[in-house]
Structure 1
């Protein structure tokens, strides 16, 4: 699949993948601070952003999507970073094609299995009657019945677009809803990447825990684990300067 991406900056190639319900734009402010040193590729994964929709949606196909992008761009070896779902994609990619990854950064996710925990979000998104709403405020009012946090709603509604027929979702909501268990899948037992790897967790997040360290070390023996203080799961939005500093220090 030909993925949509934004390219900016100059220098060694650095590819960044967003998380579930996100898009390439989520990392734009981070990329603007790094573009003087690296050529940034901000990628929309399949069924997200402006990339194509497909009934197939799992880490195997997302790994092959990423390989196709690298091949098309003539990128033999890259710095690679992914957040949450994107972190699972880049972990799987690095273990499948280790020769294509110079250094790996995994933002606030571990290799283990995660139970489904997006039920309320999916219920809220699916409750919005796109053919009936006439404004984004109407969509927000409907979503607020399920998700009281304004910041979370604003993030989710970035995927609500408008065309000639009215409102549409950029995310492939039916496929994501039907296959949501795929997001939490653990890495295969055989999966291993020996290159330098940074796991970057949010200090206030529970996505990476002490119990995950043994599992991280078994798949990524050349790892470093750092936590960003005063940051939750969306560490790049909550503490961008700290994330940029950690990334720069690791890639130097």
Structure 2
């Protein structure tokens, strides 16, 4: 049975994949928890200790960026990459300042959990009232809590542009985006895929940022075809 390693995004746990894993016949999914990391260097070390190489890695959002960054640093240890709802861009000054302000606010105030407005930013409008999906997002946020949120924001604020490094990867890289993702541009990801040596791009329709929760069966089928 083929091992495939999964890395979740910011404030996401293994629960992110709960509808994907049951649809992965002949695949043994292994979740890599990066929530304790305080830098991308530490994320790389966590991945190194978890994988059998050469590895097939699937990453979502922050997990997708982390998987690409790892592959760029350790290309010999990766066989295939599946990158979901993530691009290769670094953070601009405005985004860095926003994170600093958010961290400062969180450190001084009680965290009341992810808001309804924030959840809706992650979802396609069709899923605003999808209690199953909404409750999972709330649960992941609650399970991880304020401490992890601050740590992840700090750890990923040093995100640099890795477009050039990823474009030179000699392994297959499948980029999956959602047409209605309000956070990551599907058109931008298509350009990145086209500029990557062995890059391919698949766009998912009627879906927001939380692709593994909103379109799990579709994602499972795409992953099986890639492997």
Using structure 2 for the length normalisation, give the TM-score: 0.76
What secondary structure sits across from 1:173 in the alignment? helix
1:187 to 159, 162, 169: 162
Q: Give the helix-richer structure, 1 or 2.
A: 2
The residue number in structure 1 matching 2:14 is 24
1:240 to 204, 216, 225: 216
Tell me if 1:158 matches 2:140: yes
Aligned length: 210
* Correspondence 1:111-126 to 2 at 5 A: 111-115=88-92, 116=95
1:177 to partner: Cα distance: 4.3
Is the contact between residue 205 and residue 233 of structure 1 (CA under 8 Å) also seen in structure 2? yes
The residue number in structure 1 matching 2:124 is none
1:17 to partner: Cα distance: 0.3
Is the contact between residue 25 and residue 42 of structure 1 (CA under 8 Å) also seen in structure 2? no
Tell me if 1:41 matches 2:30: yes
2:55 to 78, 82, 86: 78
Tell me if 1:66 matches 2:43: no
1:146 to partner: Cα distance: 6.7
Where in structure 1 are there 5+ consecutive unaligned residues?
Answer: 1-10, 131-138, 162-167
Is the contact between residue 119 and residue 137 of structure 2 (CA under 8 Å) also seen in structure 1? no
What secondary structure sits across from 1:172 in the alignment? helix
**In 2 relative to 1, CA 123–77 (structure 1 residues): closer, same or farther, beyond 3 Å?**
same
1:244 to partner: Cα distance: 1.3
Task: State the distance in 2 between where 1:222 and 1:185 align.
Answer: 22
Is the contact between residue 23 and residue 217 of structure 2 (CA under 8 Å) also seen in structure 1? no
RMSD of the alignment, in Å? 3.2
What secondary structure sits across from 1:15 in the alignment? strand
Is the contact between residue 55 and residue 80 of structure 2 (CA under 8 Å) also seen in structure 1? yes
1:85 to partner: Cα distance: 0.3
**In 2 relative to 1, CA 179–28 (structure 1 residues): closer, same or farther, beyond 3 Å?**
same
Higher radius of gyration, 1 or 2: 1
What secondary structure sits across from 2:48 in the alignment? helix
Higher relative contact order (CA 8 A, sep 6+): 2
Task: State the distance in 1 between where 2:72 and 2:156 align.
Answer: 23
Where in structure 2 are there 5+ consecutive unaligned residues?
Answer: 121-127
1:68-89 CA-to-partner distances (Å, cap 9, x unmatched) read: 112xxxx122211100100011
